[in-house]
Structure 1
Amino acid sequence: MHTIEHQLSQEPTRRLSNLATSIIIIALLLWSVTAFNLSNLSENGLTIAKNIFKGIFNPDLSLLFSITKQGVPYLLVETMAIAFLGTIVGAILAIPLAFLSASTIVPKPIAFIVRLFLIVVRTIPAIVYGLMFVRVVGLGPFAGVLTMSLTSIGMLSKLYVDVIEDLDTSILESMESIGCTTFEKIRYGIFPQLSALFISIMIYRFDMNLRDAAILGLVGAGGIGAPLIFAMNAYKWSEVGAILIGLIVLILLVEFISNKIRTQIVRG
């Protein structure tokens, strides 16, 4: 009875809060619409858009199926290798950082400092890291791998922490009561609970890195992005079409396979 009365008393406040939220969202939407400026849409822009679609439907087949270093297959393999290696390195480095930022594992001040560091890492966009690493190590795939690794650490650590803090500690308490060592608790109590979810999260991050790796080529960090922007700047729309078709096929294929693997892992 008291619960019903409390809910009824809270109803006007809830309505006022919902109304205020709705007004704010509508105001933000109206403000966002002002960013559209169709006056800049020139006839030349429409022609370029039409040429891009023509290039997709009439790709340069010699480039699409070339097995040289300038061909689409080689560039796609290089892009996938950058994303894969960057994901692996980032996933490994994220594990200790995740444990250090889990307040259920380490003291709260340490967890706060590590989490603050990871927030800073996640704040900077991948393309900015790409520009920085290109200046440090030069043009090429190595800069792309370093960028993918660093950007992966920030996100993977955050997702790992959520999994670690949901860890079933009763299993560890039971193992401790029967005299298990720390290594045995990690090997048989923690690792089986975390490994499947960690791998699933890592596969999800690889999907994201594959798309980011294609963009990083624009700043010279290897992969298929650089040939794509060069072809667009030279108005070679058939080459643009060949590169985009290859990229779309690769992403769809990887998405399909990764979803299958992730489903199998989660289901055990």
Structure 2
Amino acid sequence: VSNMSAKQEKCYDPRDSTLRFVDRDDELDILCEGFKSRRALMSCGHAVTPMSLTNWCRRLLDEGKSRFTCGQSGCDVEWPYSEVRKMALLTPEEMEYFEKALASNAIKDYFDAKSCPGCSTSVVRKETFNLRVRCVVCTKNGRRAYEFCWQCLKEWKGPAPRSDRCENDGCCNEPLKTLKNCPDIIFQSVTGVSGCPSIRACPTCGSLVEHDRTKCKNVVCTQCRKEFCFVCLKLSVECLKTSRHFIPCSSGVAPRQTSIPVWKKE
């Protein structure tokens, strides 16, 4: 958790000729805080203030993201850190926090690593089918095997190996729960499709993706940047060989997913 204290509101210099100022709402002011700075355009065309951009990007980092993407519905543009740093008017303290979080998240993302609940050391899971993971640091220091659950991040309880949960109270796979219980989507532009869940796990990396109901049936995953069909779950290039953007897929609607794909990075 960041220990950065709240500071005086950051505002753009109205004389800064490198910024594109607009008379529009702050499109990243999700909590309607009404920041007083003038609005300026990001490279994607959405209007922000330094405070709203800082808050949004910090939220992405706190969620474990290693990329900065626009928070507007339907906009999947990725902003380079250099743009975020300039447009958010990041302070030296904020830059230090952002850069450390970016590096940490990138390592955890690439190596499928999590922090051990016993010592906070990054641990890499070698067996993706097994939720029980051993921390070598805690095992060495405690002189006994220290194992924890990859899902609930508590000390392991119960038999192993298991891929669904451990025996700790409340241990459950929240993404799978979401996939199971989310309502069906009603497309506004895609015709002839029914019974399609409103949230899917990306078939490439497993990140949960929600369709905003507008435009075509293809979406781009903000995590791995792969484009896939929300209906049949094939990569778009495969789906479009036998179908089109706004009509049913030749293979029909893929059923609700009961497992999360594991990203096999090249």
The normalised TM-score by structure 1 is: 0.25
Higher strand proportion, which one? 2
Higher helix proportion, which one? 1
The normalised TM-score by structure 2 is: 0.25
Q: Which has the larger radius of gyration?
A: 1
